[in-house]
Amino acid sequence: MNKERFFEWFWLIIKYSFAAGLLALLIRGFLLIPMPVQGSSMEDTVSQGDMVLVERLSSVKRFDVVVFNLPDGSTYVKRVIGLPGESVSYKDDQLYINDKKVAEPFLEDNLHSDDESAPYTHDFDFEELMGVKKLGKDSYFVIGDNRRLSKDSRSFGAISEDEILGTAHFVYYPLPHMKFI
């Protein structure tokens, strides 16, 4: 290989490497953000120390697992239960949205695996808990899947759309925990 051909290949590799690096930075910075999970409030969906990929582009839907920051600087991972304009309540471990029963299939294992004498999700009435009849325009009600140990909207109130960093879709580390959420 002559010297001229070597430099052509060398610059081609440099250009492609730069483009690939730039693309990786853009994807990591704006599309898929790695986030660590801290705490046990989302057991058995995600565990302490899991790393999740958070996506920022799609709109938030009921039962999405979201990552958000509160004004005090703390970061949480919780499940969206109530959407803007809705009322949320629990009675006898049953979720009610606007006074209609809604199933929570992701909790089936949790509801029957612990102490059956205590409710998994303690009863509450939305208006008594939140002081309003319905969630505001850009407000979401979030609860951890490990209901008995979760600090969530029942204690700190609804979260705003601006506080949501994105939706967690995939656990990628540690490898034995790898799964879609």
The question of whether 40 is a catalytic residue gets the answer: no
Cis upstream peptide for 44 (omega within 30°): yes
Instruction: Give the C-alpha separation, 173 to 178, whole Å.
Output: 6
- In this predicted structure, the answer to whether residue 27 has a pLDDT above a threshold of 70 is no
Predicted pLDDT at 110: 58
What is residue 115's predicted lDDT score, i.e. its pLDDT?
56
Catalytic residue from among 3, 17, 40, 41: 41
Cα of 55 vs its chain's centroid, Å: 10
Query: pLDDT digit string (tens) for 81-134?
Result: 999 999 999 888 889 999 899 988 887 765 555 556 666 778 788 888 888 889
Task: Establish whether 41 is a catalytic residue.
Answer: yes
Q: Cβ(48)–Cβ(152) under 8 Å?
A: no
Of 154, 137, 27, residue with least CA distance to 79:
154
* Residue 139 to residue 85: CA distance in whole angstroms: 8
The pLDDT score that the predictor gives to residue 67 is 93
What CATH number does domain 37-180 carry, 3.90.550.10, 3.40.640.10, 1.10.10.60, 2.10.109.10? 2.10.109.10
Per annotation, catalytic residue among 40, 58, 59, 78: 78
